Amino acid sequence: MHLVRCGSGDPILFIHGMPTSSCLWKGIVERLCGEFTCFTVDLPGLGETPAELYSPEYLHSLAKQLDQIRIENKIDRWHVVGHDAGSAVAVHYAHCFPDHVDCMALLSPALFPELKPFYLIEWLRKPILGELLAPIIGLVFWRVAMGRAVGGGAAGHQMISAFRKPFSGFRGSWQFMRVVRWGKPSTVLADVPQFLPELSMPTLIFHGSKDVTIPEAFAVRASKLMPNARMITVDSGHFIPIHQPESIAKGIAGFFDHALVLDRDVAAVRLA
């Protein structure tokens, strides 16, 4: 996976969702790199990471690849932050490697098998019809849907261009189609409700009050299933890291610092 590292302090791994890239975290990382060592990755087929074939063990494979990054950077434990489908990757990583996760933050968490893909993406997932409509749907998706979701202005257009970069050129629409066909939520996320209660690390869940992509019920459900989770609603649409970078960075830093202090206090009491 393509990896960018910056800053110093306790390490944080940032995992983006679909169909974005590590650029999603730019505003948050800029505000946290003075206090934390920030790692941002591009998931397969997105950003600067080559695509890979989907398999039934896809999320577990991603978890193993992410842990290899931890090992290569000589990290014992780190915080993990995910947005959208990146939240699903984050909880699978925490499930596979709980001893290496201090705290988590999940933004717009796409965690449950009842998830309904965005209607344009759903069309791309249909065999033959998706191949025929890919150029038209791709154009509408990036120019209209993403334009509305991310926001206008130079900054918004620059962000969308960064997300769309792997799908530029004549074959880009079909490359995008292949990436969004990577798996059905009903199958890929089937076991998530069962293992969320096992994730005992402190977890902060953010939901955007104007999010029309991920239902609020998902954030509420996750906060109830995870034993040490709490939920915060923010004034934002789906792309919380873009719309509210300052408040999210402040919330994450405060939550992680507080959780670690409590954890160390408890450990000291046990030793005493």
Q: So what's the pLDDT on residue 263?
A: 57
Please enumerate in sequence order all residues whose Cβ is within 8 A of that of 31, keeping only pairs 6 or more positions apart, or say none.
245, 246, 249, 250
Residue from 23, 11, 13 nearest 155 by CA: 23
Question: Taking the chain (272 residues) in consecutive chunks of 10 residues, what is each chunk's mean pLDDT?
Answer: 94 96 96 96 94 84 96 97 97 97 97 88 86 90 89 83 91 89 86 96 96 94 96 95 95 89 47 42
CA-CA distances (angstroms) from residue 211 to 39, 75, 119, 149? 26, 34, 15, 9
Architecture of the CATH domain 2-116+184-271: 3-Layer(aba) Sandwich (3.40)
Predicted TM-score (pTM) of this structure: 0.92
Instruction: Assess whether the previous peptide bond of 166 is cis (omega < 30° from 0).
Output: no
Handedness of CA 211, 213, 217, 221 (dihedral sign): negative
Q: So what's the pLDDT on residue 116?
A: 87
Q: So what's the pLDDT on residue 223?
A: 97
Residue from 63, 119, 92, 104 nearest 194 by CA: 92
> How far apart are alpha carbons 25 and 43 in whole angstroms?
13
Q: So what's the pLDDT on residue 266?
A: 40
Residue boundaries of the structural domains of the chain: 2-116+184-271
Residue in the structure block whose two tokens are 């080559």: 50
